[in-house]
Amino acid sequence: MRRARPCGAGASTRMEFLPFTRPSIDEATIAAVADVLRSGWITTGPKCRELEARLSDRYGGRPVRVANSATAAMEFALRIAGVGPGDEVITTPLSWVATANVVLTVGATPVFVDVDPRTRNLDLDALEAAVGPRTRAVIPVDLAGLPVDRDRLYAIARRHGLRVVEDAAQAMGSRWAGREIGTGGDLVSISFHPNKNLTTIEGGCLVLNSEDEARLFEKLRLQGVTRAPDGTMDCDVLGYKANLTDVAAAVGLGQLGQLDAFNARRARLARLYFDAIDPSLGLALPPRAFGPAAGDGPGESNWHMFQPLLPLARMSIGRAEFIERMKAQGIGVGVHYPAMHRFTLYRARGWRDGQFPHAERIGDSTVTLPLFPAMADDDVGRVARALAGVIAPVLDGAGA
């Protein structure tokens, strides 16, 4: 494990900067990348096929196809599901903006509903209430790796004949009722962005239902072209340029063997956070979703992120100043994410402040604390001390 350490002689109180995330790439993976670079075949090829096969094994034999982003994978999922102009897709405003952008890209209309303040994921009652005659699909998001209730979600989808495109970008290794996300469900999209629990630098995959869907995905990711063994080709659908490279796939293969260990490490760090953060600071901690073994209910997070909510109403500084003060203590803090219906692109489509009070409050007060596999146990204590040092003096009129 890489440990935080003093930086420079005589700087015993100054610690190395602790980012909110950092990928873990081991020497074997770096060597595997070098092998691909020397091999003479560096774009989509055997390594991508091997990664797809290994992912398919992980997801119970379901077909899996990789692309150069999960954004592309979700867009293809919507096209495979037949979603297009005139259709509505229900989703959460509390996600990375890709979740709704892909709906616009295929010419359909995103319909936002608020989140459940306890899980911070799509409120499933609000989802069902929002289903109308034009609703074609739903995109649930497992925010921070906490899975949406798959039993209720699919019961609603079945009742109303909806396709489900699971935005499981952040949920690789998360489980619902003991089953890993991706082993069941409809179309499941996972991201391999550098911040994610498994990275290919950039990249993503889609878990599909059939070889027919997989063939369409293959066409969509590369210009809509099909090649025949005799060297002839045809293009019968408008595709994109979204194929993954073998260099990236080699990174993913190296990561895949370590994923379960990475996620176990993340879970340990999350537990340490629950013990280390002083409750008197008034932070709202994320749900403790460690899985059925811990008696926490059927949802088991992969602890992609650890996100408390700041007690802003009790603080005399705002989030931006909080982040600056944490940075001055050597701690990186992220924001994932402000509620997206308030972005200009979505305001221009009629969405307004105040429509989704839970998503807005969470999006305004959420902060992402450092959590990544190579973090040392001691780093959690360091973050907890910095939180106390920054928040206690500005709480309840203590004076900034």
In the complex, the residues that contact ligand PLP under the rule CB under 6 A are 69-71, 95-96, 98-99, 141, 167, 169-170, 191, 193, 204
CB nearer ligand PLP, residue 44 or residue 191 = 191
With beta carbons less than 8 A apart as the criterion, state whether 236 and 218 touch.
no
Q: Distance between CA atoms of 367 and 20, rounded to whole angstroms? A: 10
Burial annotation 241-276 (CB, 10 A radius, 16+ → b, else e): ebbbbbbbbbbbbbbbebbeebbebbbebbebbeeb
Instruction: Classify 326 as helix, strand or coil.
Output: helix
Q: How many of the other CB atoms lie within 10 Å of CB of 42? A: 16
CA distances from 1 to 41, 173, 271, 342 (A): 34, 21, 18, 40
H-type alpha helices, the chain? 27-39, 46-58, 70-80, 98-105, 124-130, 150-160, 211-221, 246-256, 259-276, 319-328, 344-347, 357-365, 377-391
Residue 41 CB-half CA count within 13 A: 9
**For residues 57 and 258, what is the distance between their CA atoms, to the nearest angstrom?**
15
Determine how many CB atoms are found less than 10 A away from the CB of residue 364. 16
Q: CA–CA separation, 278 vs 387, rounded Å?
A: 9
Burial class (CB in 10 A: 0-12, 13-18, 19+), 117: middle
Residues 244/44, Cβ–Cβ less than 8 Å: yes
Cα–Cα dist 70/107, whole Å: 18
Cis peptide before 337 (omega within 30 of 0): yes
Query: Which residue, among 66, 71, 16, 22, has the nearest Cα to 44 in the 3D structure?
Result: 66
Could you tell me which of 38, 58, 36, 62 has the C-alpha nearest to residue 200?
A: 36
Using the Cα atoms of residue 13, residue 17, residue 19 and residue 25 in order, give the sign of their dihedral: negative
Give yes or no for a contact between 93 and 340, defined as CB atoms under 8 angstroms apart: yes
Of the two residues 149 and 167, which places its CB atom closer to ligand PLP in the complex?
167
Minimum CB separation of residue 122 from ligand PLP in Å reads: 12
Catalytic annotation present for 196: yes
Residue 101 contacts by C-beta under 8 Å, 6 or more apart in sequence? 71, 345
Catalytic positions: 196
